[in-house]
Amino acid sequence: MAAREEIPGRVSAKANAERSQSSEAPVLAARGVEKSFHRGIWPLRRKIEVLKGATLEVRPGELVGLVGENGSGKSTLMQIIVGLLKRDAGEVDRPDRLGYCPQLPMVWEKLTVDEHFELYGRAYGMADADREQAVVGLLDELQFAKYRTYRIEELSGGTRQKLNLALSLMHEPELLLLDEPYSGFDWETYLRFWEMSERRRDAGMGILIVSHLLAERDRLDRMYELCEGRICTC
């Protein structure tokens, strides 16, 4: 925790928590989200209820945590918000321009780092010059510029995770969804990650981050906890 104090320009969580009480419209609102999975084949088919009415909000300029035990449905809720999973019930209001950093990098093993940036730049509708400017900035921030021409299969787990994070950030989204984005990061990169997140939060980005570590709670403006499919702490 002492290392956190060394980050320059860090705005206190308390200050942001006060700001988050403002009447600004949420950039993300999920209400009563329900989701079940069906496993096995008949007659052994069983229903697993994961989300039973989860509700949460994120406002612009907020860094919000989502915690819960393993299997509590955090990643499922993230995937429903992004649109990778269909919800059984409930509503989700979110902006079109969002960034999503999944828990495990969803990338193509044989393509290079640069080729990933090209594909995502096109998906985000970015002009070539804007993409290059954003990519150079992110490579510098996360310090992996020397790997631009490397294939993903040649990268370490930590560098893959840097690319995973950079792909979600390159279009400066209004809402950023991070599902344990720092797994595989070394301590320096971990600290840099929080610095980057706080800088973007201060610039008005809404950020929802799935977190497991108690030590991180102090960095967050607010926190939701998922218990048995519902938000139990706010």
Partner 1 sequence: MLSAALPTSTAFVREHLRAPLTLVLLVAIPAFFVLIFASVLGEFAKALGGTLASQSATAISAGWAAAFLSGTLAFFQVSSSRGADRRLAAAGLGPVRVAVSRIVAALAIGLTVSAVAFLTLWLRSGIGHPLHAAVAIFTFAAIYIGIGALIGAFVKGQLEGSLLVILVFSVDAFSGPQMTSNGFVSVTPTRNAANLLIAAGGGQGSPGGDWIGSLAVALGALAVALAAFWFSARTRA
Q: DSSP of 32-90, one letter per residue?
A: EEEEEEEES-TTS-EEEEEEEEEEEEE-TT-EEEEEE-TTSSHHHHHHHHHTSS--SEE
Compute the least distance from the CB of residue 212 to partner 1, in Å: 22
Q: Which residue lies nearer to partner 1 by CB, 66 or 98?
A: 98
Q: Which residue lies nearer to partner 1 by CB, 87 or 201?
A: 87
Q: Are 173 and 98 in contact (CB under 8 A)?
A: yes
Compute the least distance from the CB of residue 160 to partner 1, in Å: 12
Q: Which residue lies nearer to partner 1 by CB, 16 or 75?
A: 75
Compute the least distance from the CB of residue 151 to partner 1, in Å: 7
Helix axes 157-169, 128-142, angle to 10 degrees: 140
Q: Are 193 and 146 in contact (CB under 8 A)?
A: no
Q: Which residue lies nearer to partner 1 by CB, 65 or 173?
A: 173
Neighbours of 11 (CB within 10 A): 15
Which residues sit at the interface with partner 1, rule CB under 8 A? 80, 82-87, 96, 100, 102, 104, 106-111, 115, 118-120, 122-125, 151, 167
Compute the least distance from the CB of residue 137 to partner 1, in Å: 19
